[in-house]
């Protein structure tokens, strides 16, 4: 049976709530396809859902390899394991890359909002040297960001639009597969099925 | 400068030691390329290194999707985040699939050793219904495994041979890239470089 709101979202919100005492509960592993055709996998921070949707927000630096990789192949799977409640969410979908050059003013507003929602400390990261290049200097860069200044050009917002969610509870051994389809009027509909763990 | 023993292995052993009070410290996220060409990502359990090598052992069920995926594309990246020491290891390499039909008797012995090293409880998993298929019965299967019996046909050992390791320490912001090359006599040599986080 299809529903219009994502039925896995409440499970995820519950898991976030019951694991909220752990700083790392918002850390997820994001898999992409590397330029060499091999899998690539790293931890990123979940920055919430976009408004009332089930779209997942992730901040990153335009200069990181994942942005390059997502330009070639926009698909990704997040693996999110909650260490206290023993729940795993595998969230598969397409990622929209929103950098400062995006022509869509509405998307640029979402990017700006995510910039101001991040801490001054995490905003500083985007002023650091090019990620992944050989480190030339030992000294930490003494820089500061004007708290009222908008996003720097290195700041990039990733928006993951989930298409399939594989939920596993290791305490109860319950596993559910959530699959989305597009309705005739373009609305996303979700169905779920209990599958063997 | 090249070395013959993997220089990242000691860092990993230290991280395992300093996070050993956490049950989930042996859980890693394994990314593969799905049959549809999209990334696939799930948690698996690190079962140690093969003898004195830097090859990583993972047990799985031959019927899971990852085995099918690895047959098409043997490359994988593990993302391993240690929640107490704030260290991340991204381990990229090729995976050798060792199931019961493997023609190499030495590999079959490694598989058997890994079977007996796993708990009776985890051995039971391989007798369960086909993973990922719709669940037909609510009742838990009442089965048992003879503790002296060798591996069942569903038991499969994955051996990851690392080629590149990207290490990041979030407490010190230190990032190191370890890259392997083959020497002329076929020995694996590792070099490391400090790179920007």
CB contact under 8 A, B43 and A196: no
Query: What is the percent of chain A where pLDDT is above 90?
Result: 89
Strand A188-194 relative to strand A56-61, pairing? unpaired
Q: Do A90 and B42 touch (CB under 8 A)?
A: yes
- The complex's ipTM works out to 0.96
pLDDT for B196: 97
Interface test with A, best of B22, B28, B29, B171 (most A CBs within 10 A): B29
What's the CATH fold of domain A7-127+150-194?
Answer: Pnp Oxidase; Chain A (2.30.110)
Instruction: Dump pLDDT digits (tens) for A165-177.
Output: 999 999 999 999 9
Q: Is B58 helix (H, G, I), strand (E, B) or coil?
A: strand
Q: Give yes or no for a contact between B189 and B162, defined as CB atoms under 8 angstroms apart.
A: no
Within 10 A of B59 (CB to CB), how many other CB atoms are there? 21
Q: Tokens 């990261």 — which residue?
A: A125
Q: In the 8-state DSSP scheme, what is residue A114? A: H
Digits of tens for pLDDT over chain A (197 positions)? 444 579 999 999 999 999 999 999 999 999 999 999 999 999 999 999 999 999 999 999 999 999 999 999 999 999 999 999 999 999 999 999 999 999 999 999 999 999 999 999 999 999 999 999 999 987 666 678 999 999 999 999 999 999 999 999 999 999 999 999 988 888 899 999 999 99
d(CA B9, CA B77): 16
Mean pLDDT value of segment B132-143: 81
Euclidean distance between CA atoms A119 and A125, whole angstroms: 10
CA distances for A162 relative to A4, A92, B174, B178, B194, angstroms: 13, 6, 33, 33, 36
Provide the CB-side half-sphere exposure for B59 (13 A, CA): 24
Pick the CATH number of B7-129+149-194 from 2.30.110.10, 3.40.50.1980, 3.30.360.10, 2.60.40.1180: 2.30.110.10
Which residues in B lie closer than 8 A to residue A42 (C-beta atoms)? 79, 88, 90
């Amino acid at each position: 049976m299809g529903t219009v709101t994502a039925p896995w979202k409440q499970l995820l919100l519950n898991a976030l709530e019951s694991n909220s005492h752990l700083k790392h509960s918002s850390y997820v592993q994001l898999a992409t396809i590397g330029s060499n055709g091999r899998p690539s996998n790293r931890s990123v921070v979940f920055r919430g859902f976009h408004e009332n949707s089930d779209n997942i927000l992730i901040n990153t630096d335009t200069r990181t390899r994942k942005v390059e990789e997502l330009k070639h192949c926009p698909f990704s799977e997040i693996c999110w394991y909650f260490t206290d409640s023993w729940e795993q969410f595998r969230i598969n979908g397409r990622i929209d890359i929103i950098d400062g050059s995006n022509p869509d003013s509405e998307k640029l507003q979402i990017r700006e909002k995510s910039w101001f929602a991040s801490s001054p400390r995490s905003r500083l990261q985007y002023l650091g040297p090019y990620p992944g290049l050989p480190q030339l200097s030992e000294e930490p860069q003494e820089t500061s960001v004007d708290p009222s200044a908008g996003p720097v050009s290195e700041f990039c917002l990733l928006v993951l639009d989930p298409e399939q969610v594989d939920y596993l509870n290791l305490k109860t051994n319950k596993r559910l597969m959530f699959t989305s389809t597009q309705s005739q009027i373009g609305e996303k509909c979700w169905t779920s099925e209990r599958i063997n763990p």
